[in-house]
Amino acid sequence: MADYSNLAHEIIEKVGGRDNVAQVTHCMTRLRFNVKDDSKVDIEAIKALKGVIGYVNNGGQHQIIIGQTVDDVYKAVCDEGGFQVMAAVDEKLDETKEKLSVKGIFNNILNYLSGSLTPLIPLIISAAMFRTIQTVLGPDMLKVLSTDSDLYTILGMVYNAGFYFLPIYLGYTSAKKLNANPALGMFMGGILIAPELLEMVNNGVSSVRVFGIPAPVAKYTQTIIPILLSVWVLSIVEKFFNRIIPATLRTIFSPFITMLILVPVSLCFLAPLGNWVGTGVGNILVTIGNKGGFLGVAVIAALWEFLVMGGMHLVLIFSMIGVLMTTGSESIIAPASTCATFAVMGMALGAALRIKDKDEKALNFGYFVSCFLGGVTEPALYGTGFKYKKPFIGMIIGAFLGGLYAGLTHIAVYMLGATNFLIVLGFIGGGTANLVNGIIACVISLIAAAAATYLIGVEEKA
């Protein structure tokens, strides 16, 4: 494990010494110092420390942004200063209520989407990796497995389990995000994919009456918006009944009455509305691909990482998954995001080649490796892009050029899988030409971003 004692010593010194620290805690990404004398805290010196990503003062608390190694740095700080080790705090404590505005509503929607969808990314990637293995070992590539072999069937089963039950998984994460009952969220997701409902869809039934109210019949497996809308309303209804029902009766009657209301509201209104919106977004993506799609891919690729950092990419990701599940391939969002990932690699590589400081050079090479091998873009985005600003220009250029080639050659992604360099395996299903052009697009993104970043230059002073 890396030694963070020197960094811990520097941090304590810059916050005014151990005698100036009243308390130090941490969350998922930050060290949080409550100090006795704010005037002794050297903020600019803290920002300049290697290993520190940023600094925030929230309500008088000095928060030093470390990133994914914050647990180790926190332990080192406590050892160095002799402070009491405390459990990680909830970052929601930083949230403040904003006045109702268009911007506030938009931010709340993004926060809800991000908080609900982000926890499922490991599940999606893990399930997709099983499909990758199935494809590579199957009859379309290495021919190690036949379609009737047990292992081939199991690999496909695991993949389908990750996507088929998506409404249940989302029911849990979205309920947790809204501080609703996660079990009820999962229950609502299970209702949307109940066998009886799917049987009606398969039998061509167009509508059913729910408590006397007509409801359109649709297949909600692998969908996201119907359950997100349903759980949002569920959280409001549940909180209302939890407030008015006496505590002695709440455990039984609050969940029951909540679901009694949500079943017709969801099946008759919210789920169909969500399905209509999801289908509409998918149709828009298909239209973009059919009409001047090559520019669409290029533009989305150039902007993709900024969408990621704003949390706005999640809607596109799950719309992309919907198209992929429906048609078997996706030729807009998936190629664009793939090119953008390789452009981030190129940005970090170009910065590493251009920067003269040995420590910073080594850090940026590390960012490149973590992205190329580990599929983690955040270190490069924040450690290279945000820190120096100019490299973002190189990343945009590389992503745009790679996306332009991807759009012109009409490549498509046929499966989701790794987020590192093995992401190119997603191009396999479209044949040799699709795979070759996909790899070329990725290489263009990487090399163009590296070259542009190197030529434009990196501000040595962060």
pLDDT of 155 over the 60 cut: yes
Using one digit for the tens of pLDDT, what is the confidence trace for 238-260? 999 999 998 888 888 999 999 99
Sole residue written with tokens 């949002």:
232
Between 117 and 5, where is the model more confident?
5
Mean pLDDT within 383-406:
91
Q: Which homologous superfamily is 5-94 in?
A: Glucose permease domain IIB (3.30.1360.60)
Confidence (pTM)? 0.62
- Quick one: average pLDDT of 108-127? 75
Q: Is the pLDDT of residue 429 over 80?
A: no
- Asked if residue 139 has pLDDT above 90, the reply is no
Rounding to the nearest 10 degrees, give the CA dihedral for residues 245, 250, 253, 255: 110
Q: What strand order describes the sheet that includes 61-65? A: 21-26, 30-35, 61-65, 54-58
**pLDDT class of 344 with cuts at 50, 70, 90:** very high
pLDDT at 321 over 50: yes
Residue 182 in this model has a pLDDT that exceeds 90: yes
DSSP 423-461: GGGGGGGG-HHHHHHHHHHHHHHHHHHHHHHHHH---S-
As a whole number of angstroms, the distance between CA 416 and CA 128 comes to 5
At 328 the pLDDT is 75
Query: Measured between alpha carbons, how far is 347 from 393 in angstroms, rounded to an integer?
Result: 9
Tens of pLDDT along 189-248? 999 999 999 999 889 999 999 999 999 998 888 778 899 999 999 999 999 999 999 888
Lowest mean pLDDT among 125-134, 262-271, 408-417: 125-134
Closest listed residue to residue 61, CA positions, set 32, 39, 91, 23: 32
193 near 168, Cβ under 8 Å? yes
Q: What pLDDT is stored for residue 61 in this prediction? A: 87
Residue scoring higher pLDDT (237 or 369): 237
What pLDDT score does 237 carry?
96
Residue 310 has pLDDT above 70, yes or no: no
Q: Is the pLDDT of residue 20 over 80?
A: yes
Which position has the higher pLDDT, 284 or 152? 152
DSSP string, 294-306: HHHHHHHHHHHHH
CA dihedral 290, 295, 297, 298 (to 10 degrees): 170
User: Where exactly are the structural domains of the chain?
Assistant: 5-94, 109-285, 292-456
pLDDT digits (tens, 9 = 90+) for 436-458: 999 999 999 999 999 999 999 88
Q: What pLDDT does 143 receive? A: 84
Which of 54 and 378 is assigned the larger pLDDT?
A: 54
**Which range, 126-140, 142-156, 292-306, 340-354, is most confident?**
340-354
How far apart, in whole angstroms, are the C-alpha atoms of residue 189 and residue 261?
A: 15
- pLDDT of residue 96 exceeding 60, the answer is no
Give the confidence band of 57 by pLDDT, cuts at 50, 70, 90.
confident
- What burial class does residue 438 get, using C-beta atoms within 10 Å of its C-beta: 0-12 exposed, 13-18 middle, 19+ buried? buried
pLDDT higher than 50, residue 462: no
pLDDT score, position 93: 53
More confident residue, 462 or 77: 77
Q: What is the pLDDT of residue 370?
A: 79
Query: Would you state the pLDDT for residue 134?
Result: 79
